[in-house]
Each structure stands twice: as structure tokens, then as C-alpha cells.
Structure 1
Amino acid sequence: MKKLLLLFVVVAGATQFASAQLIPSFSFGVKGGVNLSSLSFSDPDFSSGNRAGYLGGIYARVGGLGFNFQPELYITGKNVNIETEVEGVTAVNKVKFTSIDVPLLLGGKIGAFGLGGRFLTGPLVSFKINDDQSTGQALGRAVTLSDVKNQNFAWQFGAGLDIKKVSLDVRYELGLTKQGYSFEGGEGKTRINLFNVSLSYQIY
């Protein structure tokens, strides 16, 4: 009797696991979180200070055989400080810009019984809505972004944890589009990189 009960538990667990991994599924939900943006400079005279931003929007997930495709649509607020020191005075340019971001992610999932881990990666296209720059000390001598392009591309890498209908995601976003910046005496190119943490809730 004990052997039959044990066999039943094993079969039930295997069935649940196989169902979670093999049967095609669709889900839809909302998500929100925070991010930290940074700029990569090859010139050691310039540095990028992190400032918290936000993201909020929706996602969909289509999966089967342990893999899934996850398109997302959300609004992102990105904030960063560009700093340089001139004659003992730190010049700071506070950059803020808002965009609509569309990641198209491929990933895999392991787990069962409403608990699982995910990994994902894929391209992201970002459409700028607006931007603002305010220069602090040493006005006119700080580094300024020439103009954040209206359409930018990036690549996301991340992992997530699912608990029932709630998911926690941690991602790194590598900027692919080069942005121009200018300073007294020259110009250069930089990329916008981003780290974000988000929570999502499955509605359907």
C-alpha cells in the first residue's frame, strides 16, 4: 500500500511537472519596477552617477516545451548624472528622459506546482517620448548629451522567479545605440546601460 501511495505521488508530481513544461500556455499581466541607468565613457575625465528611475506596463508570455516568448510594453523613466571635475569644481549634468520600451524576449523555465525559475534574453527597442537636461555647477563646462536619439536599441539579459501569479525579475540592459555627447574642446560617443528590478502579476 505504501509503495502504491509513493508511486501515485511520484506520477502525480511528474504529470504536474510535464504539464507545466510541455503543454503550450498563454499568460498576460502587468509589471512595475525600478531601474538604475549609467553611461559608459572611455575618457577617464568623465563619470556617470546612478539615479533611480521607474518602469511600468504590461507583458504577455507564450510557452511550451519548457521555453517561452515574452513580448513586453512599458514606459520607462531613466535618470543619470554626468560628472566631470574642472579646476577643482565638479560639473554635473542631470539627464532625464522618458521612453516607451518594447523588449522581445526568449527564455526557458524550470519548476512546477506554481514555483519556478526563468532565464531570458532578447532585443529591446526604445522610443523616446521626451528628455530634459539641467547643468549644475560650472555651467557650460559640463558634459552634455548632444541629443538622445528618438529610437534606440539594446539587449536584455535576465532571470526571474515565479511564485504562483507573482514574478520577480532582475535584468541588465546593454545599450547598442551610440549617443553623442559634447564637452568643451571635443565630442564623443557613449552608450546607455541599465539595471532593473521589477515585480509582475499575472492577470490571465
Structure 2
Amino acid sequence: MRKLLFSLTLLFYSALSYGQFEVGIKGGLNSLDLISDGIEVNNGLNKLKIDFRDASYGHHLGLYARVSFLGLYVEPSALFNSNRVNYQLTEYSEGQVITKLFNEKYYSLDLPVMVGIKAGIFRLYGGPVAHLHISSTSDLTNFSSYHQKFKDASYGYQAGFGFDIWKLRLDVAYEGNLTAFGDHINIDGQSYNFGQSASRVLGTVGYKF
């Protein structure tokens, strides 16, 4: 995936010499979804289960550049992204069942590089995306055995369609991830994840300068 991102970036710069170029700002909302049986932790005395409950709408905002040539275009973007996920934590201890709700917030710099085709005002596109971790906050850190160990970067892919109307750039895209969701979760020194990758639907409005 890194090589693909690098290759598309080289293609973008090589096309600058003879392509039509534009830059602009864009932002929007995204919805995260995950289907998983949750995470179970059993230390012999107590049992802990973490379930993905739902996710609030995330936000993304940043800059894009586009170069068009031969009916195609390459569009890299740099977007600040935030997401909030709600978890249900169930603790089984000494015959008691205690259930609590917690949330985590994630902040990242997203670097998608899309390649697309355009016919009139309509566009189709797809390409890789890198997520560079910036920071996070979590209610789960109230548990002494819980720690977060984020990777510096994770990778995924996007595919979508859009419309160019005057200086407006309207887009709807689907995003998949190449790593299992929750792989930052570490309990008592043991790493866990939800066993499935999360997906997102992104709605974006851009403005060409």
C-alpha cells in the first residue's frame, strides 16, 4: 500500500507539467460501522467483554489538489479527521455483572490519493488512503490494566462518485480498512482487536479556489 501511494504521488507530480491543475478546500461528515462479536478478556478470576456499540458522526476538513489529463485525474488530499466510538464494557466478577458505557475519540491526518475518470459533471474514482495517528482520548483509561498502543499509520482504500458543479465538488465515498479495528487496545500487556475491519461512508463538499 505504501508503494501504491508513492507511485500515485509520482504520477500526480509528473502530470503537473501538462495537465489541468486545481486546488481547493473540502470537508464533511463520515459514518463508521463495524460488525463484531466483541473482545473477551479472561484472567481466570474475572471476565471482561468490550462490545462496539455505535459511532457518532465523524468530521474531516482539509485541502485537496487535482490534476486532470487525458480524461483522467489524480487527486491527493490532506484531511484532519476526528471520530468518536462508543463501547459497552461488561465485567463479570464474583457472580455480579456490571455494564458500563464508554467512548473513545480518535484524531488522525488522512492522506487519500484518488484516481478517477470524469464525464461532464460526473466523476468515478478510487484509490488508497493512509491514516496517520495524531492523538486520542478514552474513558477506558480509567481502568489501570487498559493501555492504548496505536500504530503510527494504518492503510485502507476508498471508492466513490462525485459531481463538479461550478466551483463546488460533491462526493460520496466508501472506505475500507486493511487492519482489524481496535488493534490499539492493550489489556494487561496483551494486544486485542475486534477481529474485523471497520468501514466508513464519507460525504464531502469541496470548493475550488
Q: TM-score, normalised by structure 1?
A: 0.72
- Matches for 1:171-186 after TM superposition, within 5 Å: 171-178=173-180, 179-181=183-185
Partner in structure 1 of residue 106 of structure 2: 97
Matched, 1:52 2:57: yes
Q: Flag structure 1 segments of 5+ consecutive residues without an equivalent.
A: 1-22
Partner in structure 2 of residue 19 of structure 1: none
Q: Flag structure 2 segments of 5+ consecutive residues without an equivalent.
A: 1-17, 40-48
Partner in structure 2 of residue 188 of structure 1: 192
Partner in structure 1 of residue 46 of structure 2: none
From 158, 161, 173, the equivalent of 1:159 is 161
Matched, 1:123 2:128: yes
State the alpha-carbon separation in 1 of the partners of residues 53 and 124 from structure 2: 29
Indicate the SS of the match to 2:193. Answer: strand
Partner in structure 2 of residue 32 of structure 1: 27
Q: CA deviation at 1:91?
A: 2.6
Q: TM-score, normalised by structure 2?
A: 0.71
Cα gap change, 1:90/1:196 in structure 2, threshold over 3 Å: closer, same or farther? farther
Aligned residue pairs: how many? 173
Q: Which amino acid aligns with 1:194?
A: R
Identity across matched positions, percent: 26
Cα gap change, 1:180/1:135 in structure 2, threshold over 3 Å: closer, same or farther? closer
State the alpha-carbon separation in 2 of the partners of residues 58 and 127 from structure 1: 16
Deviation readout 1:127-175 (Å, 9 max, x if unpaired):
1111110149xx749xx77433221111111111111110111112111
8 Å CA contact 1:37–1:79 kept in 2: the answer is no
Cα gap change, 1:180/1:77 in structure 2, threshold over 3 Å: closer, same or farther? closer
8 Å CA contact 1:92–1:135 kept in 2: the answer is no
Deviation readout 1:7-35 (Å, 9 max, x if unpaired):
xxxxxxxxxxxxxxxx9421111101112
